[in-house]
Structure 1
Amino acid sequence: MTIMFSQVSDMQQIEQVAALASDIWHEYYITLITREQITYMVDKYQSVPAIEQQIQSEGYTYYLMQNGSTPVGYLAFKQEDGKMFLSKFYVAQEHRGKGYASKADAFLEQLCAESGLSRIWLTVNRDNRSSIAVYEKKGFRKVREQVADIGSGFVMDDFVMEKELVPQSV
């Protein structure tokens, strides 16, 4: 398995991420939230215009994860307060359980080390047991719970998880 992380920088890549997002969200989240909320969240946060806005003016960096030329997932993050906020990390269904989370975790830790960031934090749906288990295995711990109103009568009911990074010795 040769995983490559390609920074998303052009419209073709943004469209690829948006298509991946729609497929993954509609497949994965149907057991956790309603179809209406999935559609709303994909349109609001993972559509081409939303991703473009996040990259151009909200400080997010997106990476497409590929095995050779095959897209297997994507991630997005931004730096804030000396930490990395991992906003999005998704792997397509047919590629789960193949070690991509470990590769992504190592990649993110390397980026944090290069940028002098001390922690990675994220939010995860509190009923998303499989993802929570993966994050815990990677060293994340639950630090609090939060309910965020995202509009149109929908909320995100999440755990905030955080991983403290061990400083790299020089």
Structure 2
Amino acid sequence: MKFIEIMKQNKPAIQELSNLATTILKEHYDPIIGARQNDYMIKKFQSVDALTKQFEQNYHYYFVCDEVDEKVGFVGYYPRENDLYLSKFYLKKNHRGKGIAKEMFEFIKNQAKQLDYSTIVLNVNKNNAVAIRAYEKLGMIKIDQEKIDIGNSYYMDDYVYQYLIK
């Protein structure tokens, strides 16, 4: 796997990231939360405008590329006071179950170590059984749950997972 950092000044790459996110998220989340809420969330969090603002808030995004340089997924994180927050961890459906998520998580752990963090935290939708299984397989533990109002009468109803770097 190769990880290609997306720079905030690279508008074509941000557009490509938004397109990739839309493809993955529509396929994965429409059945979980419904197309209307998913479309709202994609616009709110994965549109070019939203991504551009996230870069200004110290988000870091990377394309995940396979051995023939196809972009098969992406990761996004940002440093917080006490942990590295793993905001995005997405892989195209036809590339799941091949050990790629493990490589992606190793990459995130290395990023956390370089930034001198010993804890990684993420949120996952309570009904996202596929992701929950993957995160638990990677050694993450459920530490909390939260319901976040994201506007337009929509909520993110999530578990909070944590990974302690040894």
Offset at 1:82? 2.9
Q: Which residue of 2 aligns with 1:139?
A: 139
Report the count of equivalent residues: 163
Answering whether residue 82 of structure 2 is matched by residue 82 of structure 1, we say yes
Q: Which residue of 1 aligns with 2:31?
A: 31
- Percent sequence identity is 33
2:4 equivalent among 3, 6, 9: 6
Aligned counterparts of 1:40 and 1:61: Cα–Cα separation in 2: 22
Aligned counterparts of 2:75 and 2:113: Cα–Cα separation in 1: 18
Aligned counterparts of 2:14 and 2:35: Cα–Cα separation in 1: 23
Aligned counterparts of 1:132 and 1:25: Cα–Cα separation in 2: 16
- TM-score, normalised on structure 1? 0.93
Aligned counterparts of 1:125 and 1:95: Cα–Cα separation in 2: 21
Stretches of 4+ aligned residues off by more than 3 angstroms: none
Offset at 1:32? 0.8
Aligned counterparts of 2:46 and 2:144: Cα–Cα separation in 1: 25
- TM-score, normalised on structure 2? 0.96
1:82, 1:116 within 8 Å by CA — same for their partners in 2? no
Unaligned runs of 5+ in 1: none
CA RMSD of aligned residues (A): 0.8
